[in-house]
Amino acid sequence: MSTQVTKNSGNKVEPKAAKYPPLLLDKVFIVTGGSRGIGGAVVKELVREGAKVAFTYVNSQERSDALMNEHNTDEMKVLGVRADCRNLSDAKDMVVEAVEEFGKLDGLVNCAGITKDKPLMMMQAEEWQDVIDTNLTGIFNSCKASIVTLMKQRKGRIINLSSVSGLMGIAGQVNYSASKAGIIGMTRSLAKEVAPYGITVNALAPGYIETDMTMQLKPDVRESVLNKIPLGRFGTPEELAQFVTFLLSDAAAYITGQVFVSDGGLSLG
């Protein structure tokens, strides 16, 4: 790779950083659960790479406003939409608002999710259903609400946030593991359905990431988890966001139906 250089008034030659065009210039994406955590990092990264983003939130009005204020200076780049994707009509409204504001839709990133960890013998039916409804049915609704728009234009990207819990199972997470395993099956099936329309569908399966969820871990539990991760640390939302950017870019046009694990080696056993 060649490097541009500039000369100063003396004989010293200093490197000049090469400038690359944004990967997602003028693209439009929806990010569910985009007001905080992994979703918030994804929104910021996509905007940094030239995209315009509509993100959903349910309760985080203050964070939503802060995110929009941070990015919306000369023009509207980020739109916060209050929508509960457990409700199909909310998901449909989300797509309508995004297209009305930005004029099109290039893809969907499903980040919304919750945990309600508890051993099965103590888990209430409502705790099972809440996690399934949010993590799995929520993605079904978002995909269903978006898919016709993407199919009509014969191109698009869908990325679903799963988890290593859906691959290897984690004690005390029967509901969460079931929902995240379901996402993997849905991702692979949908990828086959919409491939003829130029749409790719992939999943990310992160391990322990530094978010509000993991910050709630007790110190002894956190230490125990860290001891099981070969890289010896939790991942960051920014690391996942950068990979999401790649999967949304033209460089990933031939990748579909895949599950990408980012867990510091946790699932190696």
- Closest by CA position to 175, among listed 208, 220, 126: 126
**Type and span of the H or E element at 262:** strand 259-262
The alpha helices in 174-234, defined as continuous H runs, are 174-194, 212-215, 219-228
How far is 157 from 47, CA to CA, in rounded Å?
16
- Which is catalytic among the residues 20, 57, 176, 197? 176
Residues in CB range of 65: below 8 A, 6 or more apart: 80
Could you give the 3-state DSSP secondary structure of residue 133?
Answer: helix
d(CA 110, CA 159): 6
176 is catalytic: yes
Name the β-bridge partners of 81: 56
In whole angstroms, give the CA distance from residue 54 to residue 27: 11
Query: CA Rg, the chain, in Å?
Result: 20
* φ/ψ (deg, to 5) at 88: -60, -35
CA–CA gap between residue 95 and residue 269 (Å, rounded):
40
Amino acid (one-letter) located at 112: A
**Residues with a known catalytic role:** 176
